[in-house]
Amino acid sequence: MTSFDRMLTDAHARPAADCLAELDATPEGLSGDEASRRFAEHGPNHLPEVRGRGPVLRFLAQFHNVLIYVLIGAAIVSGAMQHWVDTGVILAVVLANAVIGFVQEGKAEAAMAAIRGMLAPRAAVLRDGVRVTVDGASLVPGDIVLLEAGDKVPADLRVLEARGAAAQEAILTGESVPVEKTAQAVAADAPLGDRQSMLWSGTLVTQGTARGLVVATGASTEVGRIGGLLAGVEQLTTPLVAQIDHFARWLSFLILLVSGLLLVYGIFIGHQDFSEMFMAVVGVAVAAIPEGLPAVMTITLAIGVQAMARRNAIVRRLPAIEAIGSVSVICTDKTGTLTRNEMVVTEVETPDGAFTVEGDGYAPQGGISPAGDLSDLALAAALCNDAALRHRDGVWSVEGDPMEGALLAFAGKAGGDHDARRLDAIPFDSRHRFMAVLTETAAGPKTFVKGAPERVLGMCEDIDLPQWQDRAEAMARRGLRVLALAGRAGSGPQIDRAGLEGGLTFLGLVGLVDPPRPEAIAAVAECAAAGIRVKMITGDHAGTASAIAAQIGLANTRRVLTGADLDGLDDTQLALEVADVDVFARTSPEHKLRLVTALQAGGLSVAMTGDGVNDAPALKRADVGIAMGLKGSEAAKEAADLVLADDNFASIAAAVREGRTVYDNLKKVISWTLPTNAGEAMVVILALLAGLALPVTAVQILWVNLITAITLGIALAFEPTEAGTMTRPPRPRNAPILSGELVWRVLLVATLFLAAVFGIFTYAIDKGYPLAVAQTMALNMLVVLEIFHLFFIRNIHSTSLTWAAVRGTRVVWIVVVAVTAAQFAVTYLPPLQAVLGTQDVAVMDGVLIVAVGVAFLAIIEIEKQIRLGLKQ
């Protein structure tokens, strides 16, 4: 038994120092080498994968479908009647269909699995005494993990230090009230939920900060042992796909019923031969059931998910892909999303005067003018700070909050000795907007506070409050992010919390620039063109917020509502104001929830960004909750539908564009498939009812529908964004996809199919061609119509008769060439002729068929132009 297994059972009851000793660990963390050694011994820190269905089961599942049952039934009946060719063709098609479905589903699932991998959690640990962020899977027993509010606990930890820390442990205990954490050992027989000295893997830190020793990883953790938290295998579906699935299922039953009635009618009233009639009715069922539809829609979604991931928007919940295309308001954070979050201190004001700070990036080198003594301010900036600067390959970077990194760089420029031991701290919280530390400096214990000026200035004694408030205000109006710093001599061992209010000495104001992202400016303009209003919701000062909003190009930067203003409004007043105001400053996460609710009450579809643990309710409430992948907490990511890999606003606009494209493509798949099926079915039904020879045989229908139609339909899943996608207003929330317009198009196209196929068939019979030739021509007519219809559908919002539209995409041409080649093969190759009952078609007749296809395209295109004209 390794020491690590023993620790698992009683770490909570032993003193922290004991646990460290037992695991051969130190509070400074393991060395890199030791961590690698332990990794080799204990393996990666993740739970065993939930096994999906195996390939055999997945393949068999392809046969679980009404149409396949019908076909297998048909194969048995035609076998019983000794129509061996028919039986063979049916079985071959069933098999081909299952293989196509299996391969495509596998690709879609692989795409989803790859996306899940992109959301792997990371953890802050101490290695060789330095804080580094590592992949959560690389943690080993003995590692020291640093946690803050919003983090997900990456392994089972023995708490070494906790500051106001609490964790929500519902996944283990079912109890949703957060449990406070402490470094004190608890009773050996305390139940899990009472072991306050432990932080359990998979639970969420809801407040405070903590430092813990890893005592168990992977499957040895509590959550691993109960086999819980297995990331549910997400279904590849959205409301729209589910709706279509449901529709397709009932439609199939309806078609089966109608087919059955047709069979009865044909035999008893039409006095037709059973075997012929049976195969014809199977043809009707095959023609009419849109069996490929749900599968092609799933592929379309999977391709959309991949396209979004390429644009740095990772979909966590698939329905979001539809919702993001319909958003009409985007509420976004400022820092890091609209701005770069690369901060530099440029101005400092102290009671001694105003200073300008030079230098770029995080290098602690640069001049300060005029010269002066800023040592107290620099000491406060360096010590009231959780970040670290790193110098590697000539480049300075920050580990931690960039704003704190900028303060460290400033402290370096101001000079002085900033070494001290921290005794206590009050972590920053966006609700109280300050951070305080108590440190043991060379000159004795000192308390330092930094935070929003309104908050910190109020804690200081002996200052001219209105004057300093004005100066802070003036800096903010120049677009700077402003912090106030203050300090006092203190004793210990803990911060005298009551003594903070009114007992501090003011040290100075620090102004930081955080330039807007140029691509965010472009993206905001793109959103405006797309009828989407962008609103900034920030914790920053109103002046800073409005200056940045103006630089970014938000619509209304004249009025700013602050959190305090929002508190003064009731829900009705808020609903009125919220539509017009675009900048909300000094807000707390609770305000975000009120704002989403108010916007939704106005009928808007809202996307909301967030990063902190307290943003989770607003993210859940929003139509699309978006979490920041880099600076966002695990809590926010779990609540979100979408995670931005680069925290960049431009990625939201890109996701909207992709979301609109996916929705369009789903619509295209539906608008292409349904009329095609209806057209084919009507051809056979009409012939049956009229007692005519079938223009296309059942086996031919099988070929058209299960091979060519599915191949062509897939091309629509790959359609690129149509021009003008981001200049259209958002589609209304809940706009039905099976609209009156679609029904009309189904009828129109089906009727044209009917006319063209019967036309060609009758023409051939009139010319005295044998029935098989006439049927071959009708079969080719159907496929030609499908191809022209495909070119038409590719541009539902604009004309299909442009060079770009005709040139199409590579995928379209690949499928068109493949299907055309296949048509030539079944028309002219003798072995295939034998199977499908086809015969050679004369070249001129082939030209005629294509010409009818062109006429078909012209008619539906003109109809579309009339409709588009009426809409304008």
User: Tokens 């006319």 label which residue?
Assistant: 755
Using CB positions, name the residue nearest to ligand ATP.
539
- Report the residue number, 483 or 774, with the smaller CB distance to ligand ATP: 483
Contacting range for ligand ATP; rule: CB under 6 A; set: 400-408, 472-480, 503-511, 733-741? 400-408
Minimal distance, residue 483 CB to ligand ATP, in Å? 5
Contacting range for ligand ATP; rule: CB under 6 A; set: 111-119, 187-195, 534-542, 635-643? 534-542
Minimal distance, residue 544 CB to ligand ATP, in Å? 7
Contact between 368 and 424 under an 8 Å Cβ cutoff? The reply is: no
Minimal distance, residue 641 CB to ligand ATP, in Å? 19
| 471 counts as binding ligand ATP under rule CB under 6 A | no
* β pairing state of 329-332 and 313-315: unpaired
| 562 counts as binding ligand ATP under rule CB under 6 A | no
| 451 counts as binding ligand ATP under rule CB under 6 A | yes
What DSSP string runs through 11-80? GGGS-HHHHHHHTT--TT-B-HHHHHHHHHHH--SSPPPPP---HHHHHHHTT-SHHHHHHHHHHHHHHH
| 434 counts as binding ligand ATP under rule CB under 6 A | yes
Residue 148 parent element (H or E): strand 144-148
Which residues make Cβ contacts (< 8 Å) with residue 793, sequence separation at least 6?
Answer: 668, 671, 672, 716
Contacting range for ligand ATP; rule: CB under 6 A; set: 229-237, 447-455, 563-571, 690-698? 447-455
When binding is defined by CB under 6 A, the residue of 167, 285, 435, 765 that contacts ligand ATP is 435
HSE toward the beta carbon, residue 377, CA cutoff 13 A: 27
Which residue, among 352, 284, 270, has the nearest Cα to 692 in the 3D structure?
A: 270
* β pairing state of 179-180 and 156-168: antiparallel
- Report the residue number, 433 or 517, with the smaller CB distance to ligand ATP: 433
Minimal distance, residue 337 CB to ligand ATP, in Å? 7
Which residue among 143, 151, 156, 333 is the active-site one?
Answer: 333
Which residue, among 581, 583, 594, 588, has the nearest Cα to 563 in the 3D structure?
A: 588
- Report the residue number, 209 or 335, with the smaller CB distance to ligand ATP: 335
**φ/ψ (deg, to 5) at 28:** -85, -5
| 615 counts as binding ligand ATP under rule CB under 6 A | no
Q: How far apart are the first and last CA of the chain?
A: 77
Minimal distance, residue 607 CB to ligand ATP, in Å? 15
- Report the residue number, 485 or 746, with the smaller CB distance to ligand ATP: 485
Contacting range for ligand ATP; rule: CB under 6 A; set: 225-233, 504-512, 539-547, 770-778? 539-547
Q: Which long-range contacts (CB under 8 A, 24 or more apart) does 545-549 make?
A: 545/334, 545/583, 545/584, 545/585, 546/477, 546/583, 546/585, 547/476, 547/477, 547/478, 547/479, 548/334, 548/338, 548/339, 548/479, 548/514, 548/516, 549/582, 549/583
| 18 counts as binding ligand ATP under rule CB under 6 A | no
Minimal distance, residue 612 CB to ligand ATP, in Å? 8
| 590 counts as binding ligand ATP under rule CB under 6 A | no
Minimal distance, residue 404 CB to ligand ATP, in Å? 6
| 820 counts as binding ligand ATP under rule CB under 6 A | no
Tokens at 651, concatenated: 């990625």
Contact between 589 and 614 under an 8 Å Cβ cutoff? The reply is: yes
- Report the residue number, 222 or 404, with the smaller CB distance to ligand ATP: 404
- Report the residue number, 46 or 334, with the smaller CB distance to ligand ATP: 334
Look at residue 153 and give its three-state secondary structure: coil
| 433 counts as binding ligand ATP under rule CB under 6 A | yes
| 483 counts as binding ligand ATP under rule CB under 6 A | yes
When binding is defined by CB under 6 A, the residue of 237, 243, 375, 430 that contacts ligand ATP is 430
- Report the residue number, 288 or 644, with the smaller CB distance to ligand ATP: 644
User: Tokens 């195969």 label which residue?
Assistant: 279
| 837 counts as binding ligand ATP under rule CB under 6 A | no
| 777 counts as binding ligand ATP under rule CB under 6 A | no
- Which residues are 348's β-sheet partners? 355, 510
Contacting range for ligand ATP; rule: CB under 6 A; set: 112-120, 247-255, 330-338, 701-709? 330-338
Minimal distance, residue 452 CB to ligand ATP, in Å? 4
| 761 counts as binding ligand ATP under rule CB under 6 A | no
| 512 counts as binding ligand ATP under rule CB under 6 A | no
Determine the residue type at 121.
P
- Report the residue number, 540 or 658, with the smaller CB distance to ligand ATP: 540
| 594 counts as binding ligand ATP under rule CB under 6 A | no
What DSSP string runs through 170-237? HHHHS--SPEE--SS---TT--GGG-TTEE-TT-EEEEEEEEEEEEE-GGGSHHHHTT----PPPPS-
Contacting range for ligand ATP; rule: CB under 6 A; set: 74-82, 105-113, 445-453, 673-681? 445-453
Contact between 683 and 754 under an 8 Å Cβ cutoff? The reply is: yes
Residue 593 parent element (H or E): helix 589-601
Chain centroid to Cα 768, Å, comes to 60
419 catalytic, yes or no?
A: no
Minimal distance, residue 215 CB to ligand ATP, in Å? 30
User: Tokens 């909050």 label which residue?
Assistant: 401
Minimal distance, residue 618 CB to ligand ATP, in Å? 12
Minimal distance, residue 150 CB to ligand ATP, in Å? 12
| 721 counts as binding ligand ATP under rule CB under 6 A | no
| 540 counts as binding ligand ATP under rule CB under 6 A | yes
| 679 counts as binding ligand ATP under rule CB under 6 A | no
What DSSP string runs through 612-668? SGGGHHHHHHSSEEEEETTT--HHHHHH-SEEETT--HHHHHHHHHHHHHHHHHHHH
Tokens at 320, concatenated: 């979001």
| 661 counts as binding ligand ATP under rule CB under 6 A | no
Contacts with ligand ATP by CB under 6 A: the residue count is: 20
C-alpha 380/C-alpha 468 separation (Å) is 19
| 450 counts as binding ligand ATP under rule CB under 6 A | yes
When binding is defined by CB under 6 A, the residue of 401, 440, 473, 861 that contacts ligand ATP is 401
| 376 counts as binding ligand ATP under rule CB under 6 A | no
Q: Residue 215, class by beta-carbon neighbours within 10 Å (0-12 exposed, 13-18 middle, 19+ buried)? A: buried
Is the CA virtual torsion 265, 270, 271, 276 positive or negative?
negative
Q: What is the CA radius of gyration of the chain?
A: 34
Minimal distance, residue 633 CB to ligand ATP, in Å? 12
∠ at Cα 626 (656, 577), nearest 5°?
85
C-alpha 491/C-alpha 438 separation (Å) is 8
| 535 counts as binding ligand ATP under rule CB under 6 A | no
* β pairing state of 560-562 and 368-369: unpaired
b/e string for 738-762 if b means 16 or more Cβ within 10 A?
A: eeeebeebbeebbebbbebbbebbe
Contacting range for ligand ATP; rule: CB under 6 A; set: 7-15, 149-157, 399-407, 861-869? 399-407
- Report the residue number, 374 or 403, with the smaller CB distance to ligand ATP: 403
| 148 counts as binding ligand ATP under rule CB under 6 A | no
- Report the residue number, 591 or 667, with the smaller CB distance to ligand ATP: 591
| 452 counts as binding ligand ATP under rule CB under 6 A | yes
Minimal distance, residue 600 CB to ligand ATP, in Å? 20
When binding is defined by CB under 6 A, the residue of 428, 649, 672, 792 that contacts ligand ATP is 428
Site for ligand ATP in 332-351 (CB under 6 A): 333-335
Chain centroid to Cα 171, Å, comes to 24
Residues that bind ligand ATP (CB under 6 A): 333-335, 401, 403-404, 428, 430, 433-435, 450-452, 481, 483, 538-541
Residues known to be catalytic: 333
